[in-house]
Amino acid sequence: MSKRRPLVAGNWKMHGLKASIAEFGRISAGYDPALRAQVDLLVCPPATVMSAMAVAALGTRIGIGGQDCHPKAAGAYTGDISAEMIADTGATAVILGHSERRSEHGETDALARAKVEAAWRAGLIAILCVGETRSEREAFRALDVVRSQLAGSVPDGASAANLVVAYEPVWAIGTGLTPTAGDIAEMHALLRGELVARFGAEGHGVRLLYGGSVKPENAGDILSIADVDGALVGGASLKAESFLAIARAY
Ligand code: PEP
């Protein structure tokens, strides 16, 4: 089995105007050969600036990704964006099943699964998010919830090349709270075990990211946990300085 290459992905959510391309420029300026040798970087901006950012990313070796897609390739779906449209911008990945989509847009595992299939149809890497709520963790149901989300959201055909899974406890997103290292390790071991059981050697190659209040201050500790192959970063990805500091924690 080849070693998994670390990935630090930034989820800009609904932040970023055209002027933010300059921030991307600062990220690419800091992605020097030493850092490039260590870690892959991906920036997922709002759809409105994805094309411009994909152009800015040419030659930088930083990937650009979307934050959601519609399961269909085209059609009468006002306001939606297809995986093909995301790929058409030059982006190479898309975040799917984020807890903000699940909670605010009623996304189910079945819908997330259909979107992962759409991403693969368009040649994109699917970054699938799973994670328990606070009440689920307090009820000692976190492992069962995440196992079930993974089973329901990942279609057959997953491989190291087309899937990344991000463990994002809902209660840790944007709160400054993080699970213990033991809890992260336990969850990542579960994810790895499930992926290997279902996809064999490919399951060993799928990168597992941790997401939820990753900051420069805690990145070193989190990224050194077994089976944590990188981070999905929200708030701290908006500034080049903090995003790069997290990447350098490797
Ligand atoms: C996220 O929403 O994917 C996320 C990890 O956010 P934050 O880093 O701000 O907690």
Active-site residue 186, yes or no?
Answer: no
Give residue 250's pLDDT band: very low, low, confident or very high (50, 70, 90).
Answer: confident
Show Cβ contacts of residue 243 under 8 Å, excluding neighbours closer than 6 positions: 8, 10, 27, 41, 233, 236, 237
pLDDT of amino acid 95: 98
Instruction: Spell out a b/e string for 40-78, using b for 16 or more CB atoms within 10 Å of the CB, else e.
Output: bbbbbbbbebbbbbbebbeebebbbbbbbbbbeeeeeee
Rounded-to-integer distance, Cα 64 and Cα 168, Å: 20
Q: What is the Å distance from ligand 1's center to 52 Cα?
A: 23
120 is known to lie in a ligand binding site: no
Half-sphere exposure of 39 (CA within 13 A, CB side): 24
Q: What is the mean pLDDT of residues 141-151?
A: 98
Helix (H) or strand (E) holding 65: strand 63-66
Give residue 3's pLDDT band: very low, low, confident or very high (50, 70, 90).
Answer: confident
Catalytic residue among 84, 98, 100, 188: 98
| pLDDT of 120 above 80 | yes
* Domains parsed from the chain with CATH numbers: 7-248 (3.20.20.70)
Mutate to test the pocket of ligand 1, among 7, 8, 11, 223 (most ligand atoms within 8 A of CB): 11
Decide whether any atom of ligand 1 lies within 6 Å of the 212 Cβ.
yes
Active-site residue 168, yes or no?
Answer: yes
Share of the chain above pLDDT 90, in %: 98
Asked if residue 32 lies in contact with residue 235, where contact means CB atoms within 8 angstroms, the answer is no
pLDDT of amino acid 5: 97
Averaged confidence pLDDT in the chain: 97
Tokens standing for 238?
């908006």
Asked if residue 231 lies in contact with residue 214, where contact means CB atoms within 8 angstroms, the answer is yes
Decide whether any atom of ligand 1 lies within 6 Å of the 173 Cβ.
yes
pLDDT tens, residue by residue, 37-64: 999 999 999 999 999 999 999 999 999 9
pTM exceeds cut of 0.90: yes
- Per the DSSP assignment, residues forming a β-bridge with 125 are 93
pLDDT of amino acid 84: 98
| pLDDT of 2 above 90 | no
Rounded-to-integer distance, Cα 146 and Cα 18, Å: 36
